Structure 1
Amino acid sequence: MTADPTLAWDDGAIVTVDQTALPHRRNVLRITTVDELIDAIARLAIRGAPALGIAGALGVALSAYRHGSAYRHGADEPVRRDAARLAAARPTAVNLAWGVDRALSRLAEGADAVLAEATALAEEDERVNRAASSRAADLLRELCPRPRLRILTHCHTGRLATGGVGTALGAVHHLAGQGQVEMVFATETRPLLQGARLTVWELRDAAIPHRLLVDSAAASALAAGLVDCVVVGADRIAANGDVANKIGTYPLAVVAARHRVPFVVIAPESTIDEATPCGAAISIEQRPGDEVTSIAGVDTTCAGTEVFNPAFDVTPRDLVTAIVTEDRLWYPADPGTGDLADRIDRLATVVEDFPRPGVRFRDLAGVYAQPATLGAAAHALAAAYRDAFSHVVAVEARGFMVGTAVALATGKPLVLVRKAGKLPGPLRSVKYDLEYGEDVLEMQESAVPPDGRALIVDDVLATGGTLAAVAKLVTESGAAVAGFGVLLELAGLGGVRRLHPHRVVALQTDRS
């Protein structure tokens, strides 16, 4: 664990700071029962998706030790009942149930094994935080041209919410450490003003320039051009990319889209729930009405006023610029493949009798001259395959531009396949027929590991000879072909049939 972890195990108790008392008081909680832990989670003394995962796992350890005598004789039902109550304490945050399940997976080995799993989960979260925040910082530098960024963040996603440096706020810390943050705008954030109390406290502690704004002022800040990017965390991400996060996230995403400001979600892979198909299937927690009708015990509205107080909302995937995890960049919003196909078609030109008489050559130089179009194409290919590949394999020479763009969009390693004599050995080589004659391609032997899955990209798919040859290089190295991605398919030349049964994604198809 970190030197000052959010949650720690100390002689049969979970030790943590009561987040509801900050920033004015630092109350340390020593939790010795599952009931106490459930209460702490429900009243937000412990909160933040990754921290909830750690708490859930430690809670199972508490129960396992408590029921030790009966448990050692195979009666684990009391522990499983406690685990079920823990997992249900906050239904929207998937990490809580995930942490509980992780710990339960070691239940048959005894309470010590359950605690070991919970401890490992906490240590793992620290590494996950650093990887995701570093990847997100790189993306934000790419998306925002200013040397020092003005970042708006919602809720609290720092070290108190995780087992490490934080998710969205972790990226802010990463950028600030390199002198690349001009200002952080932190919203107050319902429920319990978590941004005002916790985010501001952490930013102040780190001496990062910041301003607090009421939630309803965020749109004005974006409209005034004061914000370069919006970064948030997530409590559950559906399989299709819809994001459940703190209430107020959805309107922020709408306003960010209106003003063309990147909206980036930073979360661990464990927050992505493949069992939840879309946002509509996410259960939204409703908070008590007195969180709205009073502040610090003082009534702020008329007695008996009914309240609608959801803790979370769901942001549709088409409003999300990118989701960043420790393993990947995911662009859940389809960048508009229909519109993209039209753009590629308009920017491509036909050159007659090149490279030999009778050949109609499709030149995509116009696409490469438009960074926005090339970037959208890379994101579309990445979205089509999501995380089904580990390496991007690009074919000399025009495929290098496409491959570089896809590798940058996904954070995946780029592998170059070149003509004979262009790469240092040891090499694998293949001779193949192509529409203009015969050639040889080579790839370095160690480029794609045996357990790798290659997305093979090029600019144009004609007869498929080149891409089939690259696939042979990949499979001969022991790796697998995840599929093919091209900007343009010349449908009449049969390339897709030649590459069967592998999937082929072409962003534009010429059927002439």
Structure 2
Amino acid sequence: MSAQQHAAVPAVSLSWEDGAIVTLDQRALPFEHRRLRMTEVDHVVDAIATLAVRGAPAIGLAGALGVALSAYAHGDGDTLDEAKVRADAERLAAARPTAVNLAWGVGRALTRLHEGADAVLAEGLDMLAEDVAVNTAMVRRAADLVESLAPGRPLRLLTHCNTGRLATAAVGTALGTIIELARRGRVADVLVDETRPLLQGARLTAWELGEADVPYRVCVDSAAAAAMSQGLVDCVLVGADRIAANGDTANKVGTYGLAVAAARHGIPFIVVAPASTWDARLAHGSQIVIEERSPLEVVEFAGVPTAPEGAAAFNPAFDVTPHELINAVVTEKAVFDGGRAAQRSCGTPAERIAGLLEDFPDHPAPGVVFRDLSRVYAEPGLLAGLAAQVAADFRGAFDRVLAVESRGFLLGAAVAASAGLPLTLVRKPGKLPGTVHCAAYALEYGEDRLEIRTDAVAPGDRVLCIDDVLATGGTLGAAAELAEACGAKVAALVVLVELTGLGGRASLARYPLTALCEVPA
């Protein structure tokens, strides 16, 4: 059996059948169950752009299978015109700009392009199966969280837009969580925002809840805050189309207003979205591109004018909810505290770092307190956000990053990637080949040396020296000395954490120094 004849993955909303992508046309629901069969890339682009296929996970999967369609269309036996497939992939990825899952799905499918069309399709089918497993794990985790917030009584929930199986391969995200809670006997009522202007809530979410026999009422978008004020909502559950490194979340327009109202009334506001929705390249939500759609969606309804002829319209498809208004973001992997739940996830970068530091006395020697940054590096999006901040603060002031072994490599590499500039590694003795410069320095608990290759930095380069922790200043001082030995200029020194009271800053007084967080030694 060829890959083009691969049997459809069962129990999913999106499938591959006999060389075509098959799904329900969401434009026709709930009154008509119209199967949509896409056999060309143009069909997929149009379906995504016109919302026949919608929902961040679903369009990512459609994009991946669209790459497979292109690969078969531009392949003949053992030959494949990769340039034409990549051009099609660019069109697919651009069909809707806000949801990161679309570019993610297309990009992942392209990783198998060199293996041929069958391999591209196999990757897309694997993604379908993974989506089912991911969503199943995610909704169980989210349902557990909601139950813990309001134990022992039936829940009155509110949701916005459509985040069920229609928006994914199967199961769903926020709506999947609501249906899981209903299976557990925990749902008294669901308020379904109609979701203007295209009524994804009234048409699609209401249909899915009806199919699952979950009690619901359609709610005018502008009445949601009033429902909260009247005590009709115990928890708000929404999905996401893109989540920035700091936790700011883009979702269907209207979500931001719900989060503001929920915060005003002390109601938990929870985002349920797969890990693929996080975009660590973006430090914060203001960098998310918001799609604006046709004014006709606002000034007409089903082709009938509802506004004066020639009326202009403001029609963003999404808005961005700041992380400090979110209680938690739930993925298949973990529950991440939002700004309303934990100090560490909001406030200044210094406050976030300080909240994640762990102290280990007498390590690596008696009398030394080791400040472990493992939880800082493990916090999703935090390192990327810090790196973007450093790159922005020093934009135009440096030509290269000099990162100190070993944990300085983490922030250093992230800053270099964010700034699009070269990275040079300063290593411990014996790690580098070739001719090296060497600098000795004192530690709190002994002595050590650092080395750099003599040709690693060009004379005149402006370097940003980066390490993890500043104590006495010996390590960074040695790194600066090595940069200068190569003929470079030290633009500044940057550390994640400065341990104050140990004299490190004073010992490095001749260099500009930035510490992202300061804590007492």
Residues 74 and 39 from structure 1, CA distance in 2 versus in 1: closer, same or farther, beyond 3 angstroms? closer
2:99/2:242 contact within 8 Å kept? yes
2:9/2:16 contact within 8 Å kept? no
- Supply the distance in 1 between the matched residues of 2:119 and 2:188 (Cα, whole angstroms): 46
Q: TM-score, normalising length from structure 2? A: 0.65
- Supply the distance in 1 between the matched residues of 2:72 and 2:80 (Cα, whole angstroms): 14
Q: CA deviation at 1:75?
A: 2.9
Which amino acid in the other structure matches residue 198 of structure 1?
L
Aligned pair partner of 1:24 in 22, 31, 54: 31
1:36 aligns with 2:43: yes
Residue matched to 1:473: none
Residue matched to 2:162: 156
SS in 2 for 1:22: coil
- Supply the distance in 2 between the matched residues of 1:508 and 1:287 (Cα, whole angstroms): 46
Residue by residue, what CA displacement relative to the aligned partner does 1:39-81 show, whole Å, maximum 9, x if unpaired? 1100100000110111000000000000012x84353100000
SS in 2 for 1:86: helix
Aligned pair partner of 1:247 in 253, 275, 279: 253
Aligned pair partner of 1:62 in 69, 75, 92: 69
1:12/1:32 contact within 8 Å kept? yes
Residue matched to 2:12: 5
Residue by residue, what CA displacement relative to the aligned partner does 1:124-151 show, whole Å, maximum 9, x if unpaired? 0000001000000000011123521111
Q: CA deviation at 1:10?
A: 1.1
**Share of identical aligned residues, percent?**
57
**Where does 1:468-507 land on structure 2 (aligned, <5 Å)?**
none
1:253/1:320 contact within 8 Å kept? yes
Q: CA deviation at 1:190?
A: 2.5
- Supply the distance in 2 between the matched residues of 1:324 and 1:508 (Cα, whole angstroms): 31
- Supply the distance in 1 between the matched residues of 2:381 and 2:316 (Cα, whole angstroms): 35
Which amino acid in the other structure matches residue 72 of structure 2?
Y
Residues 278 and 509 from structure 1, CA distance in 2 versus in 1: closer, same or farther, beyond 3 angstroms? closer
Q: CA deviation at 1:4?
A: 3.5
**Where does 1:438-453 land on structure 2 (aligned, <5 Å)?**
none
1:14 aligns with 2:21: yes
Q: CA deviation at 1:6?
A: 1.4
1:118 aligns with 2:124: yes
Q: CA deviation at 1:331?
A: 1.2
1:2/1:164 contact within 8 Å kept? no
Residue matched to 1:204: 210
- Supply the distance in 1 between the matched residues of 2:163 and 2:195 (Cα, whole angstroms): 12
Aligned pair partner of 1:332 in 338, 342, 348: 338
1:281 aligns with 2:274: no
Q: CA deviation at 1:332?
A: 3.5
Residue matched to 1:417: none
- Supply the distance in 2 between the matched residues of 1:118 and 1:284 (Cα, whole angstroms): 27
- Supply the distance in 2 between the matched residues of 1:106 and 1:492 (Cα, whole angstroms): 54
Residues 384 and 185 from structure 1, CA distance in 2 versus in 1: closer, same or farther, beyond 3 angstroms? farther
1:48 aligns with 2:61: no
Q: CA deviation at 1:385?
A: 4.9
- Supply the distance in 2 between the matched residues of 1:66 and 1:72 (Cα, whole angstroms): 13
Residue by residue, what CA displacement relative to the aligned partner does 1:8-32 show, whole Å, maximum 9, x if unpaired? 1111111111001000001111111
1:188/1:212 contact within 8 Å kept? yes
Residue by residue, what CA displacement relative to the aligned partner does 1:180-237 show, whole Å, maximum 9, x if unpaired? 0011110000341000000000001111010111100000001111100000000000
Aligned pair partner of 1:81 in 87, 96, 119: 87
Aligned pair partner of 1:234 in 232, 240, 245: 240
Residue matched to 2:401: none
Residues 176 and 73 from structure 1, CA distance in 2 versus in 1: closer, same or farther, beyond 3 angstroms? same
Residue by residue, what CA displacement relative to the aligned partner does 1:458-481 show, whole Å, maximum 9, x if unpaired? xxxxxxxxxxxxxxxxxxxxxxxx
- Supply the distance in 1 between the matched residues of 2:263 and 2:377 (Cα, whole angstroms): 22
- Supply the distance in 1 between the matched residues of 2:142 and 2:518 (Cα, whole angstroms): 30
Which amino acid in the other structure matches residue 254 of structure 1?
V
Aligned pair partner of 2:306 in 300, 304, 309: 300
Which amino acid in the other structure matches residue 80 of structure 1?
R
1:151/1:185 contact within 8 Å kept? yes
Which amino acid in the other structure matches residue 52 of structure 2?
A
SS in 2 for 1:163: coil
Residue matched to 2:145: 139
- Supply the distance in 2 between the matched residues of 1:72 and 1:55 (Cα, whole angstroms): 25
2:24/2:35 contact within 8 Å kept? yes
Give structure 2 stretches of 5+ with no counterpart. Answer: 1-7, 348-373, 383-499, 503-516
- Supply the distance in 1 between the matched residues of 2:231 and 2:29 (Cα, whole angstroms): 32
Aligned residue pairs total 360
Structural RMSD (CA): 2.8
SS in 2 for 1:113: helix
2:246/2:381 contact within 8 Å kept? no
1:150/1:184 contact within 8 Å kept? yes
Residues 235 and 201 from structure 1, CA distance in 2 versus in 1: closer, same or farther, beyond 3 angstroms? same
- Supply the distance in 2 between the matched residues of 1:508 and 1:172 (Cα, whole angstroms): 43
Aligned pair partner of 1:318 in 321, 324, 332: 324
Residue matched to 1:437: none
- Supply the distance in 2 between the matched residues of 1:42 and 1:305 (Cα, whole angstroms): 23
- Supply the distance in 2 between the matched residues of 1:267 and 1:29 (Cα, whole angstroms): 26
- Supply the distance in 2 between the matched residues of 1:74 and 1:292 (Cα, whole angstroms): 44
**Where does 1:416-427 land on structure 2 (aligned, <5 Å)?**
none
Q: CA deviation at 1:386?
A: 1.9
- Supply the distance in 2 between the matched residues of 1:140 and 1:57 (Cα, whole angstroms): 33
Residue matched to 1:309: 315
1:386 aligns with 2:345: no
Which amino acid in the other structure matches residue 379 of structure 2?
R
Residue by residue, what CA displacement relative to the aligned partner does 1:453-503 show, whole Å, maximum 9, x if unpaired? xxxxxxxxxxxxxxxxxxxxxxxxxxxxxxxxxxxxxx999xxxxxxxxxx
Which amino acid in the other structure matches residue 87 of structure 2?
R
1:331/1:383 contact within 8 Å kept? no
- Supply the distance in 2 between the matched residues of 1:261 and 1:146 (Cα, whole angstroms): 17
Residue by residue, what CA displacement relative to the aligned partner does 1:356-391 show, whole Å, maximum 9, x if unpaired? xxxxxxxxxxxxxxxxxxxxxxxxx978952599xx
Give structure 1 stretches of 5+ with no counterpart. Answer: 340-380, 390-490, 494-506
- Supply the distance in 1 between the matched residues of 2:91 and 2:378 (Cα, whole angstroms): 37
2:244/2:381 contact within 8 Å kept? no
Greater shift in the superposed pair: 137-146 or 239-248: 137-146
Which amino acid in the other structure matches residue 200 of structure 1?
A
Aligned pair partner of 2:262 in 256, 262, 274: 256
- Supply the distance in 2 between the matched residues of 1:224 and 1:383 (Cα, whole angstroms): 40
Residue by residue, what CA displacement relative to the aligned partner does 1:239-291 show, whole Å, maximum 9, x if unpaired? 11000000000000000000000000000000001111110110000010111
